[in-house]
Amino acid sequence: MRPMAGTPEELSEDERRRLRRAGERLRTASKELEALVATDPIKNRWTPEPAPPEILDAARAELWTAWDELRRSYRELLGWEPPAPPA
């Protein structure tokens, strides 16, 4: 692995791709969790069923894994330390 780029302009195409993939993974995980817990009922049509606990656990785990991947990518490629999630 080459030395840290330091600035976004110095990233290689592969490094930029890595950051994009990490960001996409986090956005997808967030949307999937939102779909499980924040789906509104449609009047006179249907009411969403609660997701089983194991599905919610898996979605939450993916969200945290995706967040960790994004943080690690920024730290390794740019030396940035995004804020840690609240405890």
Q: What are phi and psi of 38, to 5 degrees?
A: -125, 30
The domain limits of the chain are: 52-79
Measured distance CA(67)–CA(21) in Å, rounded: 12
Determine the pLDDT at residue 87: 74
pTM: 0.80
Q: For residue 38, what pLDDT band results from cuts at 50, 70 and 90? A: confident
Instruction: Give the residue among 61, 75, 69 at the shortest CA–CA distance from 22.
Output: 69
Q: How confident is the model at residue 3 (pLDDT cuts 50, 70, 90)?
A: low
Rounded CA separation 59/52 (Å): 11
Region at 44 (left for phi over 0; alpha for psi -120 to 50; beta for the rest): left
Question: What is the predicted pLDDT for the residue at 86?
Answer: 75
pLDDT score recorded for residue 4: 64
